[in-house]
Amino acid sequence: MSNPPQARATNIPDLELLSELAPQLAQTFVSIASDIALVIDDSGVVRNVYTGAEPLAGSTHEWIGRPWTDTVTGECRHKAELLLNEALAGGVTLRREVNHRNQSGNDIPVAYAAVRLGRSGPVLAVGRDLRAVSAIQQRFIDAQQAMERDYWRQRQAESRYRMLFQVATDGVMVVDSQTLRIVEANSASARLLRRETDALVGQPATIGMAPVTRAAVEELLVTARTTGRPGEIRALVATDGPTGLNALAVDVSATPFRADDAMMLLVRVRVADRPGLTSAIDQRLVDFVEHTPDAVVITDSHGRVLMANPAFSQLCDDPDRRGEPLGRQPYGRTIDELLGDPKRQLPQILTEVRRHGIAELRQVEIGHVAGLSIQVEVSAALLAEGDQECIGLMVRRVDQRLAHLQPQLGQIASAVGRLAAQVGIVPLPELLQETTDLAERHLIDAAIARAGGNRLQAASLLGVSVEYLWLRMRHHGMAPDTAYPSSLLN
């Protein structure tokens, strides 16, 4: 195999006659085609330096009489030696990039190519200043890093919104790991499983699941109990009773935790994302978290706030904090300090959640601005799915919840009065059923109107999941009798 430098040497003319004109050639190259030109003798010492109209560095005149390799940075000495050796051996060189030291402390990148003027003549090294190119590359890198930071900030924001949304809507059950029966459940799980909350206690954890997925859910629970590690599967909740012919896809996760001296399982049930709707759902869950009247907050195990929605800041016992958007909450302070807790009830709820996994609908008096106090309902559940144990809380003003229902009472009473006129004509069970349906239709209609057509907010006003609202609307003929539509969350 031939040596590449030797091959290049045979393809160039003999430049021996130009060796005496090396300084003039260097000056000419600088004036027409380069930013710097060096004349270097066969021992590697710089004999002449010429720069263009824009000085390359203020100290280039000091290079004369010094080895060229001493003018470059330490990591580039090897490349400078290779370029000189290649020029001495083969006559011409490939382009190589080296960095020169600068008095300002910033290295100067230069791309050099060199040619030897004859067998015994000097080496003429001609260079192009790469600072402009380097600046463009650095701006590109900075822009790319900024995009990556924005991307991860967006991902973290989406994660915060999704966690807050799940605190507000997920079904949570505490299950005895030995018997696999429900010890306690929140109202969201009761809505998802089409049962009353009290009726769930003592039932198998697979209650409400479609028959085809019950075995898989039970296997998930047994595996979590045996391995001590959390797990998650996709399952189906029966929506038409025990047959399970119509079912709703849900994600079921099971996380082991210790409650007093017993091992328990924290089971979460959430409606599964539907293919093709993820981006739309993400935007709508953002709208839900931002605009729901219920305060949603996540704290660490000591009650310090980690994330919260704007409704939480409205409840804070600090007028300067109220109305702050998500992302600017007073993180690091404890929830009882922020809300005001004269009776020290919130720490008791947090302790109960740490011990038992869940605390459902506790009436709490919190302090408010100007020394006033208000009554709220607090429900909380353990979030033990990550490395850090957290607690998710829902806080709803009692007067706010009642205010949603109060304007409807007069209209409902009038409708019930009309039904009462049918006593003696229609059997009592039918009258009761018609009264219930009438009230439900009326309240659903009023909630949707109050929410401006947004069914997520309407479901929040009614205290039910959006899927349950959809099913009841279908039952009353208020929605098309079709599969779960993409417009449901509009």
Question: Tell me, what's the pLDDT at 205?
Answer: 92
**Structural domain count, the chain:** 4
Query: Domain end: 372, 402, 432, which one?
Result: 402
Domain holding 258, by residue range, is 170-272
Tell whether 391 and 457 lie within a shared domain: no
Enter the tokens of residue 68: 């060229």
Average pLDDT, the chain: 76
CA dihedral 26, 32, 35, 37 (to 10 degrees): -10
Q: What residues have CB less than 8 Å from 289, skipping those under 6 apart?
A: 161, 164, 165, 168, 296, 309, 326
d(CA 398, CA 402): 6
**Residue pLDDT, tens place only, 179-231:** 999 988 888 888 888 888 788 889 999 998 888 899 999 999 999 999 988 89
Query: In the predicted model, is pLDDT for residue 47 greater than 70?
Result: yes
Query: In the predicted model, is pLDDT for residue 121 greater than 70?
Result: yes
Query: In the predicted model, is pLDDT for residue 467 greater than 50?
Result: yes
Does some domain include residue 141?
no
Number of continuous H segments (helices) and E segments (strands) in the chain: 16, 15
Query: In the predicted model, is pLDDT for residue 455 greater than 70?
Result: yes
Query: Domain end: 129, 151, 178, which one?
Result: 129
Question: Tell me, what's the pLDDT at 473?
Answer: 84
Tell whether 246 and 353 lie within a shared domain: no
Tell whether 175 and 266 lie within a shared domain: yes
Nearest residue to 117 via CA among 53, 52, 37: 37
C-beta separation of 68 from 40 below 8 A: yes
Question: Tell me, what's the pLDDT at 88?
Answer: 82
153-156-157 Cα angle (round to 5): 85
* CATH number of the structural domain spanning residue 354: 3.30.450
Mean per-residue pLDDT for 152-173? 71
Question: Tell me, what's the pLDDT at 203?
Answer: 92
d(CA 62, CA 71): 9
Tell whether 27 and 101 lie within a shared domain: yes
* CATH number of the structural domain spanning residue 106: 3.30.450.20
Question: Tell me, what's the pLDDT at 321?
Answer: 46
Does some domain include residue 256?
yes
Question: Tell me, what's the pLDDT at 143?
Answer: 83
Strand partners, 353: none
Question: Tell me, what's the pLDDT at 179?
Answer: 93
Does some domain include residue 293?
no
Query: In the predicted model, is pLDDT for residue 412 greater than 70?
Result: no
Query: Domain end: 374, 402, 430, which one?
Result: 402
Does some domain include residue 296?
no
Question: Tell me, what's the pLDDT at 12?
Answer: 58
Tell whether 429 and 396 lie within a shared domain: no
**Residue pLDDT, tens place only, 63-79:** 888 898 888 888 888 88
Question: Tell me, what's the pLDDT at 483?
Answer: 46
d(CA 299, CA 288): 20
Query: In the predicted model, is pLDDT for residue 471 greater than 70?
Result: yes
**Residue pLDDT, tens place only, 313-345:** 877 755 444 444 444 455 678 888 888 888 888
Least confident range of 12-16, 273-277, 295-299, 454-458: 273-277
Tell whether 398 and 432 lie within a shared domain: no
Mean per-residue pLDDT for 441-446? 81
The values of phi and psi at residue 204, to 5°, are -60, 150
Tell whether 252 and 185 lie within a shared domain: yes
SS3 93: coil
Does some domain include residue 62?
yes
Q: What residues have CB less than 8 Å from 341, skipping those under 6 apart?
A: 347, 364, 366, 367
Tell whether 322 and 245 lie within a shared domain: no
Query: In the predicted model, is pLDDT for residue 101 greater than 60?
Result: yes
In whole angstroms, how far apart are CA 1 and each of 319, 473, 489?
83, 83, 71
Does some domain include residue 134?
no
Provide the angle, in degrees to the nearest 10, between the axes of the packed helices 398-405 and 428-450.
Answer: 110
* CATH number of the structural domain spanning residue 473: 1.10.10
Tell whether 34 and 122 lie within a shared domain: yes
Mean per-residue pLDDT for 335-363? 85
**Residue pLDDT, tens place only, 367-384:** 754 456 788 888 888 886
Tell whether 315 and 380 lie within a shared domain: yes
Query: In the predicted model, is pLDDT for residue 268 greater than 80?
Result: yes
Enter the tokens of residue 282: 């993400």
Tell whether 268 and 174 lie within a shared domain: yes
Does some domain include residue 340?
yes
Does some domain include residue 137?
no
Tell whether 39 and 101 lie within a shared domain: yes
